[in-house]
Amino acid sequence: MKLRSALSLAGPIAALSLLALGPSGCGRPAPHVVVYTSVDEVFARPVAESFTRETGIEVRLVPDTEETKSTGLLNRLIAEKERPQADVFWSGDPVRAALLKMKGVSAPYRSTRSEGLPREFSDPEDHWTGFSARARVLIYNRNLVPEGREPRSVMDLLDPRFQGKACIANPLFGTTSMHAAALFAVLRDEKAMAFFEGFRKNGGKMLSSNGEVRRRVADGEMAVGITDTDDANVARLEKKPIGVVYPDQGGMGTLIVPNCSVLIARGPNPEAGRAFIDYLLRPETEEALARSDAAQMPLRKGVPVPEGVTPLDRLKPMAVDYETLAPRLTSLFWVIEPGKELTAGFLKEWAERAQ
């Protein structure tokens, strides 16, 4: 009797589960596009839903986030290269898009809707196209940093007034890794290494993610940190006592991190993939992303932006060649000399010490 009771419970559950494993529908599947994205789901999904409303094409979104450092989507895209499931990769930064190009995962596509987008934020061979951007900014806690003593440059993190009170995210991951590569490109190796070493000497903390930097500065545990504009905006919306500074406006400039659309080579729905990219690159999408909690800055001139979003033409961007950042980053992780022992590159070794 006991076993019968167990089976009467387990039977229907197993049957329902097996039914749920089966194909979701019969006959021809509805038109759809598979979009992998490293943009946070809370920001990407509304755009995907509005695309579906306007075109009738269902978006099967596979989100990830570069912030949380899962063994994520980029690995999946690379591993699926021979027979991809994805049609489009909507990247939160150009380094990962450039990496896909290096690995032969992407296909060139120049959208007719990319007119007006500055070419310096896109791949010259059209493997990825940059649109709405975030920036790498300094955030500080207004209760801990008096007026007039705000940081103005990333180099201010080495200042004794922020001793033991400055933080950055792990430079092996996400936009912080891109920022590190950009610093090495712009400042050159010696100065960039001095920056990272000086940061540690000044008692700077390496945290797990940009979100953690936002949280610890907003909570007053840290006085200042480097993060992305979308993180800073979330803290602003939560009415935390933070201030935001676009760094180095009198010097090397602020690093701009554009979103990138990437068409996947041999994707199963190429037409729908192109349609989705066209949709992403419209001025209306830039406007929508500017109005979202991410408060992304449009790259096009003249796209209306809400209060609190700084347009690109009011900033001095850091002059970097995005295409070269991916290989530079690899060299910062590992020193590879043929026939010799693999040794940790500067950043990897620095991150291990910082932990």
Partner 1 sequence: MMGPTMDCTVLERPGRWRAAATIAILSLAVLPAVPLLGRSLAGVTDGASFAGPGFLNALGGSLAVAGAVAANAYAVGLPAGVLAALYEFPGRRLLLGLSTLPLIAPSFLWAIGWSKLAAWIGPRAPEALSSLGPHLVFGALTVPLVLWASFAATSALTRSQIDAARLAGGEKAVLSNAARQAAVPALLAAVLGGVLTLSDAGPDQIFGSNRVASQILVSFSALHDYELAGRQCVLLAGAVLALALPISVLAAPRIAAAALPRQVEGPVRLRVRTAAVAGEAFFLAMTLLGTALPLLGLALPLLDETGFDRAFAIAERTLGDTLVYAGVGGTVAVVLGFTTAAAVGREHRLRKFAIAFSIAAFSLPPSLAALGVIRLASQAPAGMDFLLRSKATVCLGHGLRLLPVAFFLGLRSWAGMPPSWALAAAVHGVPPATYIVRVVLPHLAPAGIAAFLLVALLSAADLTTVLLLHPPGASSLSLSVFTVMANARESLVASLCLIYFAFALTALVFGWAATRVVSPTRKEGTPPPKERPAR
Site for partner 1 in 247-306 (CB under 8 A): 293-294
Please report the DSSP string for 15-84 in residue order.
HHHHHHHS-SSSSSPPPEEEEEE-S-HHHHHHHHHHHHHHH-PEEEEEE--TTTT-S-HHHHHHHTTTS-
Residue 34 in contact with partner 1, rule: CB under 8 A: yes
Residue 223 in contact with partner 1, rule: CB under 8 A: no
CB 94 → partner 1: shortest distance, Å? 16
Residue 73 in contact with partner 1, rule: CB under 8 A: yes
Residue 136 in contact with partner 1, rule: CB under 8 A: no
CB 195 → partner 1: shortest distance, Å? 20
Residue 70 in contact with partner 1, rule: CB under 8 A: yes
Please report the DSSP string for 133-198 in residue order.
EEEEEEEEETTTS-TT----SGGGGGSGGGTT-EEEE-TTSHHHHHHHHHHHHHH-HHHHHHHHHH
The continuous run of DSSP H or E covering 91 comes out as: strand 88-91
Q: Which of 151, 209, 265, 274 binds partner 1 (CB under 8 A)?
A: 209
Residue 78 in contact with partner 1, rule: CB under 8 A: yes
Helix, coil or strand: residue 332: helix
Helix, coil or strand: residue 231: helix
Residue 28 in contact with partner 1, rule: CB under 8 A: no
Distance between CA atoms of residues 133 and 117, nearest Å:
11
Residues 91-130 that bind partner 1 (CB under 8 A): 99
Residues 36-65 that bind partner 1 (CB under 8 A): 36, 40-43, 60-65
CB atoms within 10 A of CB 70: 11
| Residue type at 33 in one-letter notation | V
In the complex with partner 1, the residue whose CB is nearer, 187 or 335, is 335
| Cα-to-chain-centroid distance, residue 238 | 21
- Token match 């504009």: residue? 229
Binding residues for partner 1, how many (CB under 8 A)?
Answer: 82
The continuous run of DSSP H or E covering 90 comes out as: strand 88-91
Residue 230 in contact with partner 1, rule: CB under 8 A: yes
CB 145 → partner 1: shortest distance, Å? 15
Q: Which of 11, 30, 75, 104 binds partner 1 (CB under 8 A)?
A: 75
**Segment contacting partner 1 by CB under 8 A, of 77-85, 108-116, 271-279, 312-320:** 77-85
Residue 309 in contact with partner 1, rule: CB under 8 A: no
**Segment contacting partner 1 by CB under 8 A, of 20-28, 107-115, 118-126, 250-258:** 20-28
Extract the tokens encoding 112: 């007719």
